[in-house]
Structures are given as structure tokens and as C-alpha cells.
């Protein structure tokens, strides 16, 4: 039986070859940018999933599963970009659902037992869902929660880099084309005051968007993740982008108090 490091290296090699099939030097620069963005994000989430799993003192097999789930969580993105030319699920397809279909038809999971394969497929399908509370078993719950945490941690980095580029079309895409305003929608404030993850559907302003990102802390599952958030320059930068008015300050204090209490 292969050791965990060899298994990961084989899956990683297969995954890199899979991605390379989608990248061509003659492709449109924006297409290549999106592909490279998702390639880098996949490996960053894998590393962050490993870090969380190690901090939580998981055994080596579970650490491997978390690393693999992190690496493959966005496997649906590559087909999404190729077919639709966008990362916007609302204008294309749910990339978690597509990832489940893609992964179901590859041999990436051949090294794992059936229960592990099903857990990895569940994690890929549900990593991007707003709320997940119906887990079939403990192994699935752990892998999915680690993947969701690791994904959120790295999205803060990705978003920071995209905004720092100061390219209008990239900024507009990140901010979902929302109205630039210091105003906070009442529904957004209600979610945060209730200690809940803000629903994307209620966003109206860019301030709403940044607050939604901060509200992700209410959906983090491990103390080690919250500790990483406390020390994250990307999370702090997100907070600093918010306007300095009384309502926003109050909402930010709720978020940071939650981090302090739970970490």
C-alpha cells in the first residue's frame, strides 16, 4: 500500500496534467489568467487544508484526505471557464455541482476506499454552498468543513490581490457589479447582528459585499482557522476597506468579537 505522501504526489501530478489540458499558449490572455488563478488557488487551498488538519491534530490519513479535497475542490472551475468564460455561477453553472460530476468521471480518487471517495465527492459538491448541515457521516463532515474553511481563508488572499491590481474590469467582477456606496443594507446588518453568514442575494452596495466577506467568520468551523484569521493581513485589509461610520464600526465589532470569543 502506498504511503500518504506518495498518494498525494500521484494525485497532484494527475491534477496538474488535467489542468494543462485546458491551458494553451494561444488562448485569450483573460482565459489563461482565470485558469492560472484557479490553478494557484487550488494548491493554496490544499496547503491551507493541510495546515488546519495538522493544527487540529488529525491522523495522517485524514490530513491526506483534507489536502486532496482542498486541491480538487474547484475542479469544476476549469470546465466552467472553458465553456462559459466566467467564474460567475449565477451566469453559468454551480461550480461545486459541476466539480462533483467531473470528479465522478475521473480516476483521481482510485487510491481511496469507497467511504473516502464519497466523502471527497461530497466536499467538492458542497464546498461552495451557503450552508451545509446534513452530513452522512463524521469523515464527510470533517473533510467538508476543513475544505470550506481553507477555501474561505484563501479567497481573502485572492480578493486582496485582485483589488490591488487596480484593473477596473477585475475589480468590478470581484465586487459583483454592486453600487459603490458607504451604505449598509438593513438585511445585511440583520444577518451580522444575528451572528449569521450574510446571504449574497441581499447585497446592494460594495459595503454590503465587504461585510458579507467579514461575516464568513460565522461559518468557520475550527479554532485553528479563526486563529489564522486573527493574524491574516488579507482579512485585516478587507476590514480596512470599509467606511468608518458608526453603523459599520458596530457591525465590525460584532465580527471581531466573535473571532476573539471562538478562537
Is the model's pLDDT at 1 over the cut of 80? Answer: no
The answer to whether position 156 is within a domain reads no
Looking at the fold, whether 134 and 190 belong to one and the same domain comes out as: no
* Mean pLDDT, the chain, integer: 94
Q: Structural domain tally of the chain?
A: 2
CA distance 151 to 54: 16
Looking at the fold, whether 44 and 121 belong to one and the same domain comes out as: yes
CA distance 131 to 126: 9
Q: pTM for this one?
A: 0.94
CA distance 223 to 154: 17
111-158 pLDDT, tens digit each: 999 999 999 999 999 999 999 989 999 999 999 999 999 999 999 999
Band (81; pLDDT cuts 50, 70, 90): very high
What pLDDT is recorded for position 29?
A: 87
Residues 6+ apart with CB under 8 A from 42: 15, 70, 71, 72, 73, 74, 75
CA distance 159 to 153: 11
CATH assignment at residue 33: 1.10.3210.10
What pLDDT is recorded for position 28?
A: 85
Residue 135 grid cell: 452530513
**End-to-end distance of the chain based on CA atoms, in angstroms?**
38
185-226 pLDDT, tens digit each: 999 999 999 999 999 999 999 999 999 999 999 999 999 999
Looking at the fold, whether 77 and 21 belong to one and the same domain comes out as: yes
> For the chain, what percent of residues have pLDDT higher than 70?
99
Amino acid at each position: 500500500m502506498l504511503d500518504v505522501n506518495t498518494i498525494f504526489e500521484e494525485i497532484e501530478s494527475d491534477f496538474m496534467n488535467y489542468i494543462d489540458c485546458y491551458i494553451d499558449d494561444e488562448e485569450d490572455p483573460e482565459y489563461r489568467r482565470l485558469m492560472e488563478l484557479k490553478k494557484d488557488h487550488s494548491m493554496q487551498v490544499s496547503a491551507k487544508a493541510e495546515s488546519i488538519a495538522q493544527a487540529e491534530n488529525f491522523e495522517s490519513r485524514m490530513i491526506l484526505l483534507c489536502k486532496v479535497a482542498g486541491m480538487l475542490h474547484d475542479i469544476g472551475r476549469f470546465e466552467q471557464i472553458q465553456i462559459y468564460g466566467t467564474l460567475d455561477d449565477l451566469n453559468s453553472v454551480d461550480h461545486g455541482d459541476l466539480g462533483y460530476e467531473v470528479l465522478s468521471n475521473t480516476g483521481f480518487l482510485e487510491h481511496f476506499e469507497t467511504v473516502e471517495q464519497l466523502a471527497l465527492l461530497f466536499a467538492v459538491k458542497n464546498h461552495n454552498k451557503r450552508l451545509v448541515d446534513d452530513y452522512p457521516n463524521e469523515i464527510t463532515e470533517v473533510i467538508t468543513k476543513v475544505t470550506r474553511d481553507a477555501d474561505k481563508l484563501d479567497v481573502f488572499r485572492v480578493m486582496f490581490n485582485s483589488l490591488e491590481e487596480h484593473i477596473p474590469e477585475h475589480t468590478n467582477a470581484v465586487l459583483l457589479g454592486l453600487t459603490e456606496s458607504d451604505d449598509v443594507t438593513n438585511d445585511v446588518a440583520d444577518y451580522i447582528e444575528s451572528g449569521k453568514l450574510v446571504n449574497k442575494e441581499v447585497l446592494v452596495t460594495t459595503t454590503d459585499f465587504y461585510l458579507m466577506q467579514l461575516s464568513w467568520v460565522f461559518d468557520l468551523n475550527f479554532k485553528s482557522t479563526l486563529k489564522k484569521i486573527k493574524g491574516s493581513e488579507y482579512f485585516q485589509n478587507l476590514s480596512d476597506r470599509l467606511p468608518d461610520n458608526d453603523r459599520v464600526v458596530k457591525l465590525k465589532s460584532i465580527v471581531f468579537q466573535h473571532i476573539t470569543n471562538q478562537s
